[in-house]
Structure 1
């Protein structure tokens, strides 16, 4: 007999299943997919970093707004924007200023929404391992001046495991709907930012 997957019997597995389609949509975006190819155009790489910067600019603001709801058992979130800005500065004269931010949704439950956002942002450290390995193998030249972001992601990988342990041990205190809301909003924002490339926009707008 197959046990139906529910938040009560496995919150992390349930959340992973609920967000699977959005995760796959994001991974298949042309810019992110290009990072895994044997040949990577330098301009495409730079556009990808700029899109990552634009996507984090909003979602990290959401986390800041929910900072008062952050569980004390979790290590504080370490922003990715400084590392992305450093890499972009090394690769181009144009450095992003304050990105156009997307207003935060009206969260149903602050603590659970905070965890949902971090689920996506910390989970990205796992995919970053594979991307870094591919870049080192096929395009090491792009990392010569722009490895800060990838190094930062590697250092933050342990936050992902701490978060999963928190979801496992504290799931009775987490509201599944709000957890999913935070994760969905984050995935959807990243998808929206990266879809600009598909519509012919070279990079997200910066003020």
Structure 2
């Protein structure tokens, strides 16, 4: 008899398991995996920042509009965690890239793909799960970027230097367990997290028309947001992914 799998009683564990395919697909993407590459060059870094900016400009207003509609915003729904587009603009400008908010605000959704939305605190918790985890990984990326690109990248690391409250993972885990105490709330959080992971993937995979004349990105591996890809020839599991999956301090 096969040993029974342990019951995942922690909502965070079930949320992680339910979004694992998209999480790994994003970490293995040909752009995102380059952030930890030893031969990363500055031009590639600019491309990645531009695509991250485009994604943030899509989802930041969605979260902010929901937060403003609450009678009392919970501590875990902190703007310092999700409002990072200004940091991305500052990083790009410090590298001589003048991409503006308007230039990066484009639609990359398919015709049948619904727009991002947040209608409940549980759904917002799913969004914040993705962003809080990314803040943890940012510390590792920050260190590797300094090692690989040196002083030339020093003024352009605001995005990968999240504020202290953006990496309070233990506090977030406790809050999540309270918010997701019912099955329907947990399902909404999973939907929210998968929607945001898909948003990041979409912006990494689709090359906006206004960037085609200026970018020379590495080859992009196109994949379904719902399919887990295992081909080691085209995908590389990064240390960044391991850090986020274990939710450990990268130090």
Q: Residues of 2 paired with 1:100 and 1:195: CA distance?
A: 14
Q: Residues of 2 paired with 1:135 and 1:121: CA distance?
A: 20
| Structural mapping, 1:4-83, within 5 Å | 4-5=7-8, 9-67=9-67, 68-69=69-70, 71-74=73-76, 76-78=78-80, 79-83=83-87
Aligned residues: CA RMSD? 2.5
> Are 1:100 and 2:106 an aligned pair?
yes
Q: Deviations along 1:162-194, whole A, 9 cap, x unmatched?
A: 221201244325701110111010000100100
Q: Deviations along 1:40-89, whole A, 9 cap, x unmatched?
A: 11110000111110111111122012213475243522210111110111
Q: Residues of 1 paired with 2:123 and 2:176: CA distance?
A: 13
Q: 2:35–2:45: 8 Å Cα contact kept in structure 1?
A: yes
Equivalent residue for 1:87, pick from 85, 91, 97:
91
Could you state the TM-score of these two structures normalised by the residue count of structure 1?
0.84
Q: Residues of 2 paired with 1:156 and 1:73: CA distance?
A: 10
Greater shift in the superposed pair: 154-163 or 138-147: 154-163
> Are 1:186 and 2:196 an aligned pair?
yes
Q: Residues of 2 paired with 1:91 and 1:57: CA distance?
A: 20
Could you state the TM-score of these two structures normalised by the residue count of structure 2?
0.70
1:167 counterpart residue number: 176
Task: Point out where structure 1 has 5 or more consecutive residues left out of the alignment.
Answer: none
Q: Residues of 2 paired with 1:73 and 1:47: CA distance?
A: 33
1:121 counterpart residue number: 131
Secondary structure of residue in 2 paired with 1:150 = coil
In terms of fraction of residues, the more helix-rich structure is 1
Q: Deviations along 1:118-168, whole A, 9 cap, x unmatched?
A: 1111210111122112112222234222021122x2534434332212012
Task: Point out where structure 2 has 5 or more consecutive residues left out of the alignment.
Answer: 217-251
